[in-house]
Amino acid sequence: MPSTDRISPLHATDVPWRYHDLAKSRVRIHEPPAPGEVCLWLVPSEFRFASASNIGNWLTPAERKRARLHPNSALGRRFGVARATLRLVLSHMLDCEPDEVGVGDEPGERIVVAHPLAEGAIHADVAYSGIWIVIAVASARIGLGLTVETTGVRDAVAKKLMWDEAARIGRTRAAHGEAGDDASLQDWYALTLPMPGEICGVLVTEQPVASVQAFGWEKPFEAEDSRAAS
């Protein structure tokens, strides 16, 4: 198991966040993230902009089949909403239609974004917890890690263990499945996400985060959640 020794924690309150109302903003960012910028969405699985017709039009045949044949219909619906929302936000960045955005799946749940108009790399990751979908887009490699407290213990030690596990998951996803020794050769940065309920969320990136565009998060942060890595 990779260690988190080379991960530098970043608290949510250490980075400037710009908040956007999810319903009013229609999730729009009109250009790809700048270096050091991260765009984040916290979306419920019943997100109204990802309607049944949109899911049908914006997903590939393979993605529609994956959603339809999932053993758990609710999780299949969640996948469809997440993939449709990802294409929606990327289409605004690339000034194209959602179904024109190429989104591929590679081993380790890695998501690859492709579009002929994209200048430079666009990295994306999607993670799930219960009804919640978290989407992250940046110009650097990123990985999302979500964990949930199941024991009901809310002391500092338990929170730190949750944070460490979320950071480990995020780094594994950001490193695209590299072996632990190879992944540990580089420094990573981990931004604590203020998640609802008992969820601990961490975004791991290969570059320091200078600013965040946040859709769906309430302001202000709960100090308790934003200091989970203390």
137 has a pLDDT exceeding 90: yes
Rounded to whole angstroms, the Cα distance separating 186 from 193 reads: 22
The CATH architecture to which 7-218 belongs is Alpha-Beta Complex (3.90)
Rounded to whole angstroms, the Cα distance separating 105 from 111 reads: 5
Q: What is the mean pLDDT of residues 166-177?
A: 88
What was the pLDDT predicted at 178?
57
What was the pLDDT predicted at 184?
55
Using 50, 70 and 90 to split pLDDT, how confident is the model at 227? Answer: very low
47: Cβ contacts below 8 Å, ≥ 6 apart = 81, 85, 133
The residue type found at 55 is I
Q: Which residue has the higher pLDDT, 161 or 156?
A: 161
Whether the predicted model's global pTM rises above the 0.75 cut: yes
Q: By mean pLDDT, which of 30-34, 47-51, 64-68, 113-117 is the weakest?
A: 113-117
Q: What is the mean pLDDT of residues 118-129?
A: 86
Residue among 164, 186, 138, 140 nearest 33 (CA)? 138
134 has a pLDDT exceeding 90: yes
Give the pairing of strands 211-215 and 17-20. Answer: parallel
Return the bridge partners of 203, or none. 144, 191
What residue segments make up the domains of the chain, in order of their start? 7-218
